[in-house]
Structure 1
Amino acid sequence: MTFKREMVARFHMSDLGQLFYYLGIEVKQGSDSISLGQHAYVKKLLERGDMVDCKLCVNPMEKRLKLSKNSTVVKVDATRYRRIVGGLQYVSRFMEDPREDHWIAVKWLLCCVKGTVDQGMSFPRLAAKSELSVVEA
């Protein structure tokens, strides 16, 4: 609470209560830890790509796949491609002129992402204030 009072004293701000969701990240605050996940965000990406029912894969890219900006294969719907790749940021260098081979790579990534839908990160709370250390610049 001291931190919150100091922030309010220094900055114009509102207290919106406990944080649950921020920039696609779900926040779960327990008594002994804080957990972060992206369950809803991953589900949304899978829906955008019509990949909700895809099979899971474990390798984020096919071993022999070579993507190129100079691809000569069939073009795909650039808007749909950009909406999903914008969420992945992995194959974004092909955003200006996406081709079928690029789309196949994105679909492969979505199959891998589907396997992580229930994964997240957990951070334990510190037990006592005396355990905190402050490093000054």
Structure 2
Amino acid sequence: MPNRLAKESSPYLLQHANNPVDWYPWGDEALEKARSENKLLIVSIGYATCHWCHVMERESFEDEATAQYMNEHFVNIKIDREERPDIDQVFMEVCQILNGSGGWPLNVFLKPDGKPFFAGTYYPTTSFQNRPSWRHLMEHLQGIWKDNPEMINE
């Protein structure tokens, strides 16, 4: 069943329209849902010809169990960096400040008020060379938000 991206015109967003992840395009609807439900946001930014964007889609965003976890615990936003270079630039700067580097896919975690607190690029399905798996990362950040939100709010 198509998600909200099925109504978009971007080729990259349309590539994700049949993911089981309940993707939202960037906009007030997703941001308001996060605020009203007090959920963290995942903002995933990429572009149509990005190799690692397609790998992460295949490994994580097309996986039913991963999508179910994302849909239950987060409000998920997908952005085409070629369509919204302004948003990409802001979040890329966040990633570079936090990590010293950036790239795509760019995955940023935001508090319900829309303020970013964590950013990274590609995450594998299993932990590898000091890089957590996508699922482990989501569970860790969601656990902090649930049990110790002051750690994120500082």
Q: Same fold (TM over 0.5)?
A: no
Name the TM tier (shorter chain).
Answer: under 0.3
Question: By percentage of residues, which structure has more strand?
Answer: 2
Question: By percentage of residues, which structure has more helix?
Answer: 2
Larger relative contact order, structure 1 or 2 (CA cutoff 8 Å, min sep 6)? 1
Please give the TM-score of this superposition, normalised by the length of structure 2.
Answer: 0.22
